[in-house]
Chains A and B, each alone.
Chain A
């Protein structure tokens, strides 16, 4: 079946540090890949997405590249800010049909000043 594995948290970084959150997936076919962010007390927001191999999604300084050969979609940001503190979820969706998302367990990021 389809599944998403992302690195265990929590992750604590100092402001301006480099961030990587690893995400790998197992899926049949060619899924679309997503990163969602959940700020404290709020719902999920789409951060970025990629729909085919070698696509790079980017938003707010975050990037992730769809790597079919390693079945990965790692999230990176060059310089984190305190306001980036949140829980980050990697997710996939089968490319065909109006199907639900399959989520990883989430990675909590805390950025300290």
Chain B
């Protein structure tokens, strides 16, 4: 099946710093990428939908100035957590889709810990 990678897999940072997470589709062109957040023992919550070459669409309650999403190419989307705080600590997961009706493939996730 298709492969989606995320980097880094784990990051620890100090409060107030910014962290960038990359999501790459390795063997297909992803017209759309989705960013989810997963709290411990809970489900995935959609944060935003990212279409290549256009601005991301954020879900209600997600601060777009805090969670910057860039989808500059058909194989790469980045999520930058700006001025991270301990409450931003979570598991961030991206998924990528090649288009309408296509299966979404998930990255392995990035665990962020803000001290």
Contacts and interface: CB of A to CB of B under 8 A. Distances in A.
Interface stretch (B14-22, B82-90, B100-108): B100-108
B103 A46 contact: yes
A27 interface: no
Interface residues of A, number: 21
Contacts of B95: 44, 100-101
Contact of A100 (B49, B101, B108): B49
Interface string A78-105: 0000000000010001011110111111
A100 B34 contact: yes
Given A89-B43, A100-B49, 8 more contacts: A42-B109, A43-B93, A43-B106, A46-B105, A98-B31, A98-B97, A101-B95, A103-B43
B108 A42 contact: yes
Contacts, number: 52
B52 to A, nearest CB: 11
Interface string A5-27: 00000000000000000000000
B102 A98 contact: yes
A106 interface: yes
15 contacts: A42-B109, A43-B93, A43-B107, A43-B108, A44-B44, A44-B106, A46-B1, A46-B103, A46-B104, A97-B100, A98-B99, A100-B34, A100-B104, A101-B34, A101-B46
Interface of B: 1, 6, 31-32, 34, 41-44, 46, 49, 93, 95, 97, 99-109
A105 B104 contact: no
A49 B93 contact: no
B100 A106 contact: no
B44 A89 contact: yes
Question: Which of A43, A95, A103 has the largest count of B CB atoms less than 10 A from its CB?
Answer: A43
